Chains A and B, each alone.
Chain A
């Protein structure tokens, strides 16, 4: 038996020794060096594409925003300024259809080529080219024949974008679009270097072949791990850029990311869901509104919800303040209208303030319900069903609303949840009664919300149709006169909420945590973040 203990001792020694070796290999975290102008961010996931033509998600666009630059770069207040981007100036024709952009002389690609009007023409036609199969091609449907080219019904030459010479770009639009200048700052409308793309179609897949024209250049792209960009010393406005480097790690687990933040390894991140409320209360997280609406849509083809008064009753019976204050608790704004605040920087007034509160008081819910029941010839409502995509957050909201409808309307409500892609099909096919939906604006104008619900609109999941509404949207789309647009869109929103095809619930916010020494980060109202002017001050 003595032999056993010897043998045992051996094993134990191995165990202890190996754990000591493992432990000894642990390295401390590197200390930050004093005021190094390096910003460390968390992209959460791999950016699916850094090619402006095929990018269609916020992660890719966040990185693209510092790599590339469009004709315009929105300023710190989200406004369009002449000379803020690749274009020195522009002229707009009286009919608001033709834009002539004059591109700066001192703008270059990171490989030394000058940025030309041809690059823009090439880039935009590339987005619309059916062979490119760009998700976001519709962002360029504003161009004359843009949609037709994407559909295969027109040729590239018929598209309304043309380089008159190396530095002059002529753009012809399909219809007056007062927010078109703003759109030229958007990722899909960035230029690409024509020569580079033509000689290497995979140029955007690797840092070594990536050519950009913005404040930063792509230094490293380790897939699923990290993206690093370095200051572009050839950028026309390089004096305004203080950071020497920005890195994006890809940490998707929110608790891990939060630990990294606490350990000073990440400078900015979104707040972890479970801690959002607490962090906002403690002043450690900041909540700012973004252009988005969380809503329930009513299937207007459903036997019960085809009735307007029933829809109204259900919408009114939602206590929006309670949802925001007791359920979501992320600083969201209760929605008493459909279009979120901050949607109309070009209209002179805030659309939301202008149109006011469009949802009647809860006390009126019963009245509408009775009216609706009478119209339907029913004495009481059958059980109705809320459908949502599987997620803890959506579930909590659905449960709260279920209780509110029981209490305020005496209706039994069932909940069903589906996996995301299945749910999207359910919404599109109209196989639901009440469905969860969320909408983030594509650009800063009420139109990005309101044109969804024209008859046959592709995102019109309630299958709502009202000729009067359609006419108002059409009217607003045919003019650049902001007064006329404001009137038309304001009336349209009132009609939409009088018909209550959708029940807006709250307006989205983004909640972020940021180290105190990070300054100058620009957060636009549409949810986009621009790190061009950020800096570190310790």
Chain B
């Protein structure tokens, strides 16, 4: 197991290096200058800024100095925010996004698995159709529509939740819902189709024939087998939800990280583009690693860390 973890750690470093390198050269290849505005600044001022941020050096030099700083976990300054470094931005905003993400993920997994399971067990019944209509709606209604709708109904009309902003648990309910619904729908559909497949297997019939209770059949034999694909998509899903999403954060005015993924590109704020990309990649790789470990726990046939032929 230790060997496995070390190997994965090594892979993480290599993956991140590739991502940093690609992102670094790609972002410098996009036209546009971090300091351009509608009113141009004098050449001298621009040169001062370029010098201040080390942009006057050649690209390979900048690349090397970035890598050196990266090994010390220093992600550099933000060109746009004069008061926050990239490390500050991540330290301030990631916890917010992560909390929201975890809540959204909880909603998505809980309701998604429940809906999918019920739908499969009551295959072709009214319950099944209702669950699937909810799922299809969840997949097809984008956040940008759902979020204002939630605000309008639950905050403006009913007054149950604050309209927007961040602070108490009440503030998190609507954004977490808006964020979780789509994932929930995906999980529900995946769960349902897998459940149906597993329920048709011979070993389920054997289990029933043995006289196992319905609960035991469903819990021990069906869900456990059907949930594997859901676990697989949880990796990227977790990474995406934890690091924040632009639309939901924008609509609910949440001080999360999502906007930096978008704003940094618009502003050509190179260190922020790199920092957020690296951070997202690291979260993604870690989440995928955890998924691999989870495989082993759920399905004893999969031996994590053993190179099987």
Contact = CB atoms under 8 A, between A and B. Distances in A.
Interface stretch (A2-10, A84-92, A101-109, A318-326): A2-10
B48 interface: yes
A249 interface: yes
Nearest to B83: A205
B114 A11 contact: yes
B83 A48 contact: yes
Given A255-B148, A437-B38, A26 B163 contact: no
A27 B266 contact: no
A130 B163 contact: no
A275 interface: no
A23 B173 CA distance: 8
B37 interface: yes
Given A250-B255, A251-B164, A223 B93 contact: yes
A14 B114 contact: yes
Nearest to A7: B215
Nearest to A27: B170
B24 interface: no
A4 B214 contact: yes
B40 A428 contact: yes
Nearest to B85: A205
A256 to B, nearest CB: 5
Interface in A147-163: 147, 150-152
A49 B83 contact: yes
A59 B81 CA distance: 12
A428 B37 CA distance: 11
B52 to A, nearest CB: 4
A26 B32 contact: no
A258 B297 CA distance: 50
Given A151-B44, A263-B156, A133 B52 contact: yes
A6 B216 CA distance: 13
Given A48-B82, A131-B52, A260-B163, A252 B250 contact: yes
Given A256-B164, A256-B251, A458-B40, A135 B170 contact: no
Contacts of A14: 110, 114
B229 interface: no
Contacts of B168: 27
Interface string B252-277: 11011001000000111000000000
Given A133-B48, A252-B250, A15 B173 contact: no
B148 A424 contact: no
B7 interface: no
B234 to A, nearest CB: 20
A51 B82 CA distance: 8
Contacts of B63: none
Interface of B: 30-33, 35-45, 48-49, 51-53, 80-84, 88-89, 92-93, 110-111, 114, 117-118, 121-122, 148, 151, 154-156, 159-166, 168-170, 173, 213-215, 218, 250-253, 255-256, 259, 266-268
